Amino acid sequence: MDITQVATLVNSVNQEIIGSSAVLEEDLSNVVDVGKAIFDATSYDHYVKTLVDHIGRVIFVDRKYSGSLASLYRDNWEYGAVMEKIYVTDLPVAVENDTWKLQNGTSYDPNVFTQPSVAAKFYNKKSTFEVDLSIADIQVRSAFDSATQLNAFISMLMNSVDTAINIRLEGLSERVINTLIANTFNDDIPDLDVSKTGIKAVNLLKLYNDQFSSAPLTVDECMYNAEFIRYAALTIAKYSERLKKVSTLFNCGGLVRFTPKDKQHIVLLSDFVAAAGSYLQSDTYHNEFTKLPDAVTVPYWQGSGTDYGFDSISKVHIDIVDPSDDTKTIEVELPGVLGIIFDHDAAGITNDKRRVTSNYNAKAEFTNMFYKQDANYFVDLNENAVVFFVGEAGA
């Protein structure tokens, strides 16, 4: 074991703490252990200098990871492949009430057939992947002191597979949301001009600057402006209320839809939520009037990039199926996405199947584990969805 004398260091630390010395440069390279991949010469004892230090504690880095978009998961089924979604396309129309227009000698036919307007959608795509792991317990027994340690080691390996799968499933869940965001933006603003605004793809920055044109903000400024954040929170709350009422405005299919509060899924960018908490809640006594609706937060829509900059975390940049020709795709790039409100039936993950198969290799004495994951990821553009973003000309 490498022993470091730190008396001089702790004495100088004490002087810095009590204020009798300025803050000095400190050499901590031999004080705080950052670990080594293998034993070296410092791993021998300090008596005869030939005995190897024994391991006194084994710590397994074993923690579970679960995604943030679990609300997207729907029901499963054992047999069949296709999900059929049946819905009413047009509500029945009102007709005159014959009860109050009776005329002598007039026949009133009760046998007229009124056909309902119903359609169906079929979802028949499945996405799948697997993660493989080889377990060889005999070969690693020499590295541990007991069966308990060995079991903990194997448990850690299996949990690493579970974590790997959950991270990838969370990424696919985010892609479901991104698909809904991109399709909504493309439908509402077909030229994909991020300086414009629509009724389903709401450019909060444009709306704010149009209303308060005396001091227009840029994308870089708006996230640090309390008045803009207050305006954005107000607008999102308004749309949450509007979606409760019957309308054809908030879905790409133009169908009559309504989304009550308990069927609304709200996903917001965590940087925006943090800004709202800092700028709106910290100095407000009745903060229930300024707070954002309850929402799931995500730190980014596609990824953090290399810098976690706002441009990286707020961007959705994907290819979607061309609504006018399903053999083609459209590239959609939408920066500055702050959030989305969508109907429970607008997006989801169904028929989630996770299973494990294994094969024992008797010759080399190890077991291969195959962790398989299948699921159906769907978006229904006939259901309500509203996207909120900030964009300006030239972005």
- The helix (run of H) or strand (run of E) holding residue 224 is none
Average pLDDT over the chain reads 85
372 burial level (CB within 10 Å; 0-12, 13-18, 19+): middle
Q: Is a pLDDT exceeding 70 seen at residue 201?
A: yes
Tell me the average pLDDT across 337-352. Answer: 92
99 burial level (CB within 10 Å; 0-12, 13-18, 19+): exposed
DSSP helix/strand/coil, 191: coil
165 Cβ contact partners less than 8 Å away, ≥ 6 residues apart? 131, 354, 371, 373
DSSP helix/strand/coil, 160: helix
Pair 257, 247: CB distance under 8 Å: yes
DSSP helix/strand/coil, 380: coil
Q: What is the pLDDT of residue 286?
A: 45
Tell me the average pLDDT across 271-282. Answer: 81
Q: What is the pLDDT of residue 315?
A: 94
Tell me the average pLDDT across 203-212. Answer: 94
The token pair that represents 303 in the structure block: 């990824």
Q: What is the pLDDT of residue 9?
A: 72
Beta pairing partners, 90: 117
Pair 31, 2: CB distance under 8 Å: no
Q: Is a pLDDT exceeding 60 seen at residue 284?
A: no
Q: What is the pLDDT of residue 144?
A: 85
Pair 195, 392: CB distance under 8 Å: yes
Q: Is a pLDDT exceeding 60 seen at residue 287?
A: no
Backbone angles phi, psi at 202, to 5 degrees: -100, 115
Beta strands 117-123; 296-298: pairing state: unpaired
129 Cβ contact partners less than 8 Å away, ≥ 6 residues apart? 168, 372, 373
The token pair that represents 166 in the structure block: 């959950």
Q: How far apart are CA 76 and CA 373, in angstroms?
A: 13
Longest dimension (CA), the chain: 123
92 Cβ contact partners less than 8 Å away, ≥ 6 residues apart? 114, 116
Q: What is the pLDDT of residue 48?
A: 61
Which residue type occupies 64? K
pLDDT over 70 percentage in the chain: 84
Q: How far apart are CA 287 and CA 338, in angstroms?
A: 21
Nearest by Cα to 194 from 33, 334, 361: 334
**Which region among 13-22, 175-184, 209-218, 221-230 has the lowest average model confidence (pLDDT)?**
13-22
Nearest by Cα to 144 from 136, 153, 133: 153
Q: What is the pLDDT of residue 267?
A: 94
Q: Is a pLDDT exceeding 60 seen at residue 52?
A: yes
309 Cβ contact partners less than 8 Å away, ≥ 6 residues apart? none
Cα 298 to chain center, whole Å?
Answer: 5
Query: What confidence category does residue 89 fall into, taking pLDDT thresholds of 50, 70 and 90?
Result: confident
- The helix (run of H) or strand (run of E) holding residue 387 is strand 385-389
The pTM for the full model equals: 0.84
198 Cβ contact partners less than 8 Å away, ≥ 6 residues apart? 188, 189
Higher-pLDDT residue of 16, 194: 194
Pair 374, 126: CB distance under 8 Å: yes
Q: Is a pLDDT exceeding 80 seen at residue 45?
A: no
379 Cβ contact partners less than 8 Å away, ≥ 6 residues apart? 176, 179, 180, 183, 346, 347
